[in-house]
């Protein structure tokens, strides 16, 4: 199945502009034209990231349950909300 190039580029532009995007992992894999999570999926994602003009080292990811969090802000992190008060 071919990748939905416009959708992937749009998603990654949102990451670049907003700093973060959360997407269902299966949907992201499907948008990239894959049926399963394999190493090539993430290489394809990085190739799209390169196409929009950003450095591979600027894209960070985190898998949480069935979601993928893509971000350009590596200084964030999970913490207890109770410590925010």
Domain boundaries, the chain: 5-73
Residue 85 has pLDDT above 90, yes or no: no
- In this predicted structure, what is the pLDDT of residue 49? 96
Radius of gyration of the chain (CA): 14
As a whole number of angstroms, the distance between CA 78 and CA 14 comes to: 21
For 13-71, how does the pLDDT look when each residue is reduced to its tens digit (9 = 90+)? 999 999 999 999 999 999 999 999 998 999 999 999 999 998 999 999 999 999 999 99
As a whole number of angstroms, the distance between CA 58 and CA 41 comes to: 18
- In this predicted structure, what is the pLDDT of residue 73? 82
């Amino acid at each position: 199945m071919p990748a939905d190039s416009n959708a992937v580029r749009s998603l990654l532009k949102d990451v670049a502009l907003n700093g973060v995007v959360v997407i269902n992992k299966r949907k992201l894999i499907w948008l990239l034209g894959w049926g399963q999570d394999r190493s090539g999926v993430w290489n394809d994602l990085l190739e799209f990231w390169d196409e929009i003009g950003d450095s591979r080292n600027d894209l960070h990811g985190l898998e949480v349950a069935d979601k993928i969090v893509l971000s350009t802000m590596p200084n964030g992190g999970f913490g207890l909300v109770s410590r925010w008060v």
